Chains A and B, each alone.
Chain A
Amino acid sequence: MANSQAFIQFYDEPMWESIRAQRWALQQCDDCSQYQYPPGPCCPHCLSLSMSWKPLSGKGKIISWVVFHRQYFDNYKPPYNVVAVQLTEGPLVISNLVGPEPEGGWIGREVTICYEPNAEQGSIPKVMLSEPPAA
């Protein structure tokens, strides 16, 4: 086994730079204003080649979630959760919910992006509940 590795291709590099700076940014199309994830060479909505990197608002909601009970990576010991989050900007991203877990259902809960140290990339974006249950 080994640690998990980021799969960084040509267009991903600026995104990981923004994550290291703890200001996760995605490409927004200059022509149709749509965001895309993962990063790419053109806007998949209108094929424009003109895009700008924009920091995310950091807000989204949980679309779905799973719990790993099998170990695939040295740096992820089960059980651990993975969540799919729809960002306010539109795209879905994958992350882990850290901090308090929701009482009742997870789907539809509002979350906020936070950052955790990461040995490989320096920093990695995670999410936490925007309104955690009262302790």
Chain B
Amino acid sequence: MTTGNLSKVGAVIGVGQSDYVSDHARVRAGEKPHDSYGYAAIAFREALADAGLTRDDIDGLIVGPTVAYERVGEVLGINPRWGSQADAMLAVIEACAAIKAGLCETVALVYGNDQRSAAVQYGGPEAMGGNLFLSYVYHAPWGYTSQGALYAMMFRRFMEVTGITEAELGEVAVAQRLAASLTPHALMRKPITLQDYLDSRYIVEPLHLFDYCLINDGGVALIVTSAEKAKRIAKKPPAVIHGVGRFDLNRGATSLEPRLLDFYRPAQEACAKQVFDMSGLGPQDMDAVQIYDSFSCHVPFALEGYGYCRSGEAGRFMREDGISLKGKLPVNTAGGHLSETYMQGWNHQVEAVRQVRGECGARQVEDCRFVHYNSDVAGKAVSIIYGR
């Protein structure tokens, strides 16, 4: 099977985000600072400035799933020659594919989400997403609702099969909180201990409060251009996209078979082969990893699925080798969805770019050459490798 070569086609030359900390404080105080389009606009302005470009340099537009494509283009005054709508990870891949095909050269990827101030429900009678993922709503007659409950069921079986413990899973929340404590724009910056984690209440057992992501408002934007143009015009070191991969498990999705019987492993392995073959790199070359962490257990699943440790060894790996900034393999170096901000994978792309640029200050991974992003949202495994 050929993978199609998108290696070093595109590079990120600008990143931007809204003010998570200030907006979160205002929302918690009952205000609504912006709607999704406002957050998107703030992030786009920042990303343009970060890239040193003007709006007229943009000839492609991809918007996130929480906003309407046309309205974002209208709000930002962009008439592109190519456009699309995608989640964070697929937006990056689509941008590279469009650049490779010559459909456009410089693409703005724009996301805004007012999920907290709009009181979006991720469980219960008004749970979102059932139109896209039937498993989010189908089991409600048995009181089974919320994406956290789907991951709790998956992790319980993972405990049974591999022997991983709740305390070992707690390494994720503790490590990411340490990273957030060194990240000025992160929402949850007070360090926690493993004991704090174990003492925290269950939401859906075996998952604790600290295994769940935040829910906050915000916006993120990225500017992706051809690697060749990036070299010529970038103000800051470009973050070159060295490889991408994707594999989806749809069969049996609603009855949770790929989750509970395989832990999405076949998708991760197929995706890992694509991204590593395309980039000519392997897990041993990665200096940091960003993992989509709506729930902490994404991390051990990914460590095994992408070959960072052997099957069944994620618990030991996290406890002994370590996934914090002080460990062998720093994961979610700004705190991720658990402690930085829940921008549905968009914030992970920004952090990967900043680590490759070397502009992360106290949380900077030393001599960071390559960062691997991956996600397995509902069994859709996606990978991107950023590098110099």
Contact = CB atoms under 8 A, between A and B. Distances in A.
Interface string A83-117: 01000000111111000000001010000000000
Contacts of A4: 125, 140-143, 145
A92 B257 contact: yes
Interface residues of B, number: 36
- Would you list the 6 A-B pairs with minimal beta carbon distance, nearest first? A76-B143, A64-B157, A72-B124, A2-B125, A67-B205, A94-B139
Contacts of B138: 7, 38
B142 A124 contact: yes
A94 B144 contact: yes
Given A65-B156, A67-B204, A69-B203, A38 B134 contact: yes
A82 interface: yes
A135 interface: no
B261 to A, nearest CB: 7
A134 interface: no
22 contacts: A4-B141, A4-B143, A5-B140, A6-B141, A44-B252, A64-B156, A64-B160, A64-B260, A66-B205, A69-B201, A69-B204, A69-B205, A70-B203, A72-B143, A73-B124, A76-B143, A82-B142, A84-B256, A92-B252, A92-B260, A95-B142, A105-B160
B159 to A, nearest CB: 9
Nearest to A94: B139
Nearest to A91: B255
B137 interface: yes
A68 B154 CA distance: 14
B123 A72 contact: yes
Interface in B172-209: 201-206
Contacts of B86: none
A44 B251 contact: yes
A69 B212 CA distance: 14
Interface in B129-172: 130, 134, 137-146, 149, 152-154, 156-157, 160
A37 to B, nearest CB: 5
Given A5-B125, A82-B149, A92-B255, A67 B144 contact: no
Nearest to A16: B141
B5 interface: no
Interface centre among B130, B145, B154 (most CB of A within 10 A): B145
Nearest to B151: A66
Contacts of A72: 123-125, 143, 145-146
B115 interface: no
